[in-house]
Amino acid sequence: MAEEVDVVVIGLGPGGEDAAGRLAEAGLSVVAVESRLVGGECPYYACVPTKMMVRAAGLLAEGGRIPGMAGEASVRPDWAPVAARIRDEATGDWDDKAAADRLTGKGARLVRGHGRVTGPREVTVDGQVFQARRGIVLNTGTSPAAPPVDGLAGTPYWTNREAVQATEPPASLLVLGGGVVGVEMAQVFSRFGSRVTIVEHGDRLLANEEPESSALLRDVFEREGIGVRTGVAATGVAYENGEFTLRLGDEAVVGDRLLVATGRRSNLKGLGLDAVGLDENARGVSVDGHMRAAEGVWAIGDITGMGAFTHVSMYQAAIAVRDILGEEGPPAVYRAVPRVTFTDPEIGSVGLTEAQAREQNLPVRTSVSPIPGSTRGWIHKTGNDGLIKLVENTEWGTLVGATAAGPSGGEVLGFLAVAVHTETPTASLREMIYAYPTFHRAIEPALTALAEKTSGA
């Protein structure tokens, strides 16, 4: 016999947890289903603990910049307080009791287990059947994906999950993949004494960002002693006597640990989506502007393919909740999705890159302003690597994309995200007063350079 409830939420990552809590607080009977940890990847294996690692690594770098600027200093890395902080402050030793209590305290019912859609508005969890009067919210997220490299399967390689749980840095680390996870972890472990080599099949690091950002980061990495190999494919992996050998064609690199950071796959297998007319073999779940995926089904988060970010999942959760409750509200708009790579320099981006804009046949012109050329960059001196890049639609006279790379690049990005989201004319941006001397003031010469260019330049 099926138990009737109002809504079943499958998957309690940030968006799913938020949606379940909001719906319960609105007075609906909500069953929230999770087979792993309430809160999802972000608080236990991604956003929060990795930024603790980045913060600690940044402190080491700043300490090393004291000589010649403010006196003398020597820095000795110690991973123990980092591991302790992740275990005790961030993850509760990978226990989700606090998150579960927070959710149930809002009135939602937590059901542990694997949820499967078994019919229209019907979910089965380990034999328990729930009939959802209003519908089902899917937020099953993604998992690390390993490439089909010969010999990799069965070796004790790391993903982001194992890297976060490390109790000590390895003497040497191979990083397969030059995306966000790969570059962040490469720099963290390098600064804690690991000998790091990062291998990327594509021709540059951070392939989804501007090439200027990729070149900037590569230059910094090489100065810091991180080996960067781009444009090479891993053809095989061997693990013997506690050491990994990563074959790159006729060459090979070795390390004590191998971090595989080559992407993620949507958790759709075994979800029973065919019961509601959806394809669980697809890369993701298509949704409309109100997060509707099918009749009585909403989908949010990474599986929608609109950005694997906590802030996107939370944004979508609010929209789905409004729709389920029958409340008015604007549909989702993604023209100004911000993203930040927490390396040093920090790389913040919003909207379209130049390449993406041109692929859409938009009439664009761009400009780049170097952070070291700004007054604040000059004052900052050591550790001042960075740039501002603007992408303007010349027909509309507005920014469609921007990058803020450098010290506090993610914070400088806030200004640019507002400009892209609100479609503020670049002429108006040039008329603003920019505080002196700040990093964000480097936006001003980039705007000036845009005005000096001819259309299509």
Structure tokens at 293: 């995926």
413: domain CATH number is: 3.30.390.30
287: domain CATH number is: 3.50.50.60
Q: Is 274 exposed, middle or buried (0-12, 13-18, 19+ CB in 10 A)?
A: exposed
Any binding-site annotation on 263?
A: yes
Query: Are residues 239 and 350 located together in one domain of the fold?
Result: no
Query: Are residues 102 and 226 located together in one domain of the fold?
Result: no
Question: Which domain covers residue 201, as residue numbers?
Answer: 160-262
Residue at 423 is within a domain: yes
Cβ atoms 450, 390 nearer than 8 A:
yes
Any binding-site annotation on 178?
A: yes
Query: Are residues 318 and 352 located together in one domain of the fold?
Result: no
Any binding-site annotation on 200?
A: yes
Residue at 152 is within a domain: no
Any binding-site annotation on 183?
A: yes
Question: Among residues 301, 325, 349, which one ends one of the domains?
Answer: 325
Query: Are residues 10 and 131 located together in one domain of the fold?
Result: yes
Query: Are residues 427 and 360 located together in one domain of the fold?
Result: yes
Query: Are residues 270 and 258 located together in one domain of the fold?
Result: no
Query: Are residues 366 and 396 located together in one domain of the fold?
Result: yes
Any binding-site annotation on 180?
A: yes
Domain count, the chain: 3
Residue at 399 is within a domain: yes
Query: Are residues 291 and 361 located together in one domain of the fold?
Result: no
Residue-wise pLDDT tens for the chain (457 aa)? 899 999 999 999 999 999 999 999 999 999 999 999 999 999 999 999 999 999 999 999 999 999 999 999 999 999 999 999 999 999 999 999 999 999 999 999 999 999 999 999 999 999 999 999 999 999 999 999 999 999 999 999 999 999 999 999 999 999 999 999 999 999 999 999 999 999 999 999 999 999 999 999 999 999 999 999 999 999 999 999 999 999 999 999 999 999 999 999 999 999 999 999 999 999 999 999 999 999 999 999 999 999 999 999 999 999 999 999 999 999 999 999 999 999 999 999 999 999 999 999 999 999 999 999 999 999 999 999 999 999 999 999 999 999 999 999 999 999 999 999 999 999 999 999 999 999 999 999 999 999 988 544 4
Is the N-terminal amide bond of 345 cis, ω within 30° of 0?
Answer: yes
Any binding-site annotation on 51?
A: yes
Query: Are residues 269 and 255 located together in one domain of the fold?
Result: no
Query: Are residues 291 and 391 located together in one domain of the fold?
Result: no
Any binding-site annotation on 177?
A: yes
Residue at 333 is within a domain: no
Cβ atoms 24, 16 nearer than 8 A:
no
Query: Are residues 13 and 138 located together in one domain of the fold?
Result: yes
60 vs 310: CA distance, rounded Å: 28
Query: Are residues 356 and 427 located together in one domain of the fold?
Result: yes
80 vs 122: CA distance, rounded Å: 47
**Structure pTM?**
0.96
Structure tokens at 229: 């190999």
Any binding-site annotation on 106?
A: no
Radius of gyration of the chain, Cα coordinates, nearest whole angstrom: 24
Question: Among residues 286, 303, 325, which one ends one of the domains?
Answer: 325
